[in-house]
A and B are shown apart, each in its own frame.
Chain A
Amino acid sequence: MVPAIGYAIREQNRPILDDPAINAAEITFERADDPLRLDRYIDMLDFDHVSVHALKLSVASPDAPGEQYMRALKTIAEENGAASVSDHLGFTRDGHHGVEMGHFAPPPYTEAALDATCRNIGIIHDYFGDMRFFLENIAYLFQFEGTMSESRFLSRVLRKTGCGWLLDVTNVYANARNFDFDAAEFIDNVMPNASRVQIHLAGGFYDEKAEMYIDSHSHSIPEPVWDLYRMALELGHGKVEAVFVERDQNFPEEDGWRDEIRRVRRMAEEVGIAA
């Protein structure tokens, strides 16, 4: 099975979304949630797989995701014929009437966080019904003190809830490089626990001052990430449903967009044939 392949939609890549290598699209909810917009976000385009990517379900918060936010998310998903929704393993806020940090932080990897996260994912599953939910591993700058590793926490969430894994390969690469662990081992450990998988690919840069690799979605996909991608396709053969490339800055010319997505497809087809 070759996964559906496409870009996270940005205005800059819209002109090439009809490329033959593309048969999927990811909609970032916060970009699509324009109240004055009249047409559907994917416009007249037709894809085999559309997914809506959210930023504020805050699955590790002690409170359940807000109904109003989920309703808005579902409206965009339905308007665009999405088969799945996704968000990150982290928390962005304290509670319903509280504050937002602006970006997701990893939860403390504890039993209590696991309990809250699984309960919230259960609520998301109930709300979205047939739309499948995928949970993304995040790139982090720090972690809170916990009682288990990230890979164990994520594996347990996947097993307990049955939700899909949105494997952000670049996030794994960034964390492994910044905090000195084996990215391949991380993917190898988690993959058996996921019943279905989506993949994110992107490129960042090494910040000399901070001495960290920053997953800024601003560069081409680096070679080590391509290697990890191939490995993930092999390990997840038969359950990788879609692959999305993210780019938010330093946008390439038309050829750059096309070349990168064609390489994504080529590699998926090679792995599919080999299997």
Chain B
Amino acid sequence: MTVSVSKSQEYRDQIVRCAQSLAIAKIETVSHDVDDRFTLDQVKMFVDGNLDKRYQKLLDQVELLNDAFDDLEDLVVDYVKTIPLAAYDTGCSDGTRFLQWIAETRRPSLSQTDFINCQLCRNEIEDIARAHRTAHVRFQELWSTADTLAGQLGENPSLSIFMNPVCIWSTFQSQALLDDDTPAPTRVLFFVAGSDIRTSVLEVSAQSLLSSLERLTPCSLDEWLADSPHTDRDDLMELCRDSAEMGIIAFG
């Protein structure tokens, strides 16, 4: 039996109306769609269960913000009631949208903005790792031998230096997430080490050198040095070792 175009369109319209309504608990909208044998209370039970699960998941995803927002739970409730979950929500995408929603609809202080930004960067790191899974896994394999290979640095000319492909730079505007010795604003590097997300505050010279490595990777020590004319070879080797220890670079 073939279904006519108009019946298909009617079906599309019905599913769109029902999904959009139930996603934000507008139960009355579907009252004419529900079979007579069932009640709107049963529909409400379905919707409440979904919203509760979403609320709990969101709270877990933005747990970091508890230290910055006294009313975090209320904010999550407001958000869940007004902004429906996006199609194909995966990983932390709802958390990312929630953080953008706070930034747009509230007036976060500088320190609150840093918390938002920090969580957004962590989410972005996951997105990069998902999009570049092969490169992420390959780098972490290389990093697992970095300790050993660091000994060949400066002696083995064919040793390649790899920049972690899952990293992003950001700037903290306040002291909220920085220690007392680090004045804000300062650039921060987010990266993955093993299966952990780490952050590191680096000296300005190191930031510049790592930015150049991001362009060159993979490269030898001499190639990196040639691209950084005012850098001392020993200093670069020390940066290499320190960065390898943290998980920012690896050797192969």
Q: Which of A's residues lie within 8 Å of B, judged by CB?
A: 30, 33-38, 56, 60-62, 66, 68-69, 72, 75, 91-103, 105, 107-108, 110-116, 140-146, 179, 210, 212
List CB contacts (< 8 Å) of B1-30 with chain A: 1-3, 7-8, 10-12, 14-16, 18-20, 22-23, 30
Stretch of B85-93, B146-154, B237-245 lying at the A interface? B85-93
Give the interface size bracket for B toward A.
35 or more
Bound CA span A99–B85, Å: 6
* New contact pairs (14) apart from A75-B133, A100-B89, A111-B1, CB-CB < 8 Å: A38-B137, A38-B140, A62-B12, A62-B15, A108-B14, A111-B3, A112-B8, A112-B10, A115-B2, A115-B8, A142-B38, A142-B39, A144-B18, A145-B34
Contact of B70 with A by CB under 8 A: no
The 8 A CB mask of B177-194 against A (1 = contact, 0 = none) is 000000000000000101
Q: Which residue of A lies closest to B137 (CB)?
A: A38
Bound CA span A108–B50, Å: 19
Q: Is B8 a contact of A98 with CB atoms below 8 Å?
A: no
Bound CA span A55–B127, Å: 20
Enumerate chain B residues within 8 angstroms of A110, measured Cβ to Cβ: 11
Q: Is A98 a contact of B16 with CB atoms below 8 Å?
A: yes
Q: Is B129 a contact of A66 with CB atoms below 8 Å?
A: no
Minimum CB–CB distance from A84 to chain B (whole Å) comes to 21
From B1, B10, B23, contact of A101 by CB (8 A): B23
Enumerate chain B residues within 8 angstroms of A105, measured Cβ to Cβ: 18, 22, 46
Interface of B, helix, strand, loop or mixed by DSSP: helix
With A68-B88, A99-B87 as contacts: A94 and B127 at CB distance below 8 Å: no
How many A-B contacts are there with CB distance less than 8 Å?
147
Q: Is A62 a contact of B11 with CB atoms below 8 Å?
A: yes
Bound CA span A157–B86, Å: 28
Q: Is B19 a contact of A102 with CB atoms below 8 Å?
A: no
Contact of B195 with A by CB under 8 A: yes
Minimum CB–CB distance from A108 to chain B (whole Å) comes to 7
Q: Is B37 a contact of A102 with CB atoms below 8 Å?
A: no
Bound CA span A141–B50, Å: 12
Q: Which residue of B lies closest to A140 (CB)?
A: B46
Bound CA span A56–B87, Å: 9
The 8 A CB mask of B81-100 against A (1 = contact, 0 = none) is 00011111111000000000
Q: Is A101 a contact of B85 with CB atoms below 8 Å?
A: yes
Enumerate chain A residues within 8 angstroms of B136, measured Cβ to Cβ: 35-36
Enumerate chain A residues within 8 angstroms of B130, measured Cβ to Cβ: 33, 35, 72
Q: Is A36 a contact of B195 with CB atoms below 8 Å?
A: yes
Bound CA span A103–B34, Å: 17
Minimum CB–CB distance from A136 to chain B (whole Å) comes to 17
Q: Which of B's residues lie within 8 Å of A, judged by CB?
A: 1-3, 7-8, 10-12, 14-16, 18-20, 22-23, 30, 33-39, 42-43, 45-46, 49-51, 53-54, 84-91, 126-127, 129-130, 133, 136-137, 140, 192, 194-197
Bound CA span A105–B43, Å: 10
Minimum CB–CB distance from B85 to chain A (whole Å) comes to 4
Q: Is B87 a contact of A95 with CB atoms below 8 Å?
A: yes
Q: Which 7 A-B pairs have CB atoms at the shortest separation, nearest pair first?
A: A102-B50, A112-B11, A35-B130, A94-B19, A142-B38, A99-B84, A62-B12
Q: Is B87 a contact of A35 with CB atoms below 8 Å?
A: no
Q: Which residue of A lies closest to B19 (CB)?
A: A94
Bound CA span A208–B90, Å: 34
Scoring A35, A110, A146 by chain B CB atoms within 10 A of each residue's CB, the highest score goes to: A35
Q: Is A210 a contact of B45 with CB atoms below 8 Å?
A: yes
Q: Which residue of B lies closest to A179 (CB)?
A: B37
Q: Is A99 a contact of B20 with CB atoms below 8 Å?
A: yes
Enumerate chain B residues within 8 angstroms of A179, measured Cβ to Cβ: 37
Minimum CB–CB distance from B138 to chain A (whole Å) comes to 10
Q: Is B197 a contact of A102 with CB atoms below 8 Å?
A: no
Q: Is B42 a contact of A93 with CB atoms below 8 Å?
A: no
With A62-B15, A100-B86, A101-B50 as contacts: A94 and B20 at CB distance below 8 Å: yes
**Could you pull out 8 A-B pairs where Cβ atoms are within 8 angstroms?**
A62-B15, A62-B16, A94-B18, A99-B85, A101-B50, A111-B1, A111-B3, A111-B7
Q: Is A94 a contact of B35 with CB atoms below 8 Å?
A: no
Q: Is B50 a contact of A144 with CB atoms below 8 Å?
A: no
Minimum CB–CB distance from B217 to chain A (whole Å) comes to 20
With A94-B19, A95-B87 as contacts: A143 and B8 at CB distance below 8 Å: no
